[in-house]
Amino acid sequence: MKFKEIHAVIATLREEYKGWKTPAVTIVAQCNGSPFKVLISCLISLRTKDEVTARASARLFTQAQSPEEMVLLTAEKIAELIYPAGFYRVKADQIALLSRRLTEEFHGAVPDEIDQLLQFKGVGRKTANLVMTLGFAKPGICVDTHVHRICNRLGYVSTRTPDETEKVLRSQLPPEYWIEINDLLVAFGQNHCHPVSPRCSTCRIADVCERAGVVVSR
In the chain, DSSP finds a helix count (H) and a strand count (E) of 12, 0
* Residue 121 to residues 14, 130, 200, Cα–Cα distance (Å): 34, 16, 39
| Positions marked catalytic | 126, 144
CA–CA separation, 103 vs 173, rounded Å? 36
CA–CA separation, 88 vs 78, rounded Å? 9
3-state helix, strand, coil in the chain (%, to 5): 60, 0, 40
Query: H-type helices in 64-161, by residue range?
Result: 67-70, 75-82, 88-105, 114-117, 125-130, 145-154
Cβ atoms of residues 178 and 138 within 8 Å: no
DSSP 21: P
* Residue 184 to residues 77, 174, 205, Cα–Cα distance (Å): 34, 15, 13
Q: Which amino acid is at 154?
A: L
What is the CB-side half-sphere exposure of residue 116 using CA atoms within 13 A? 11
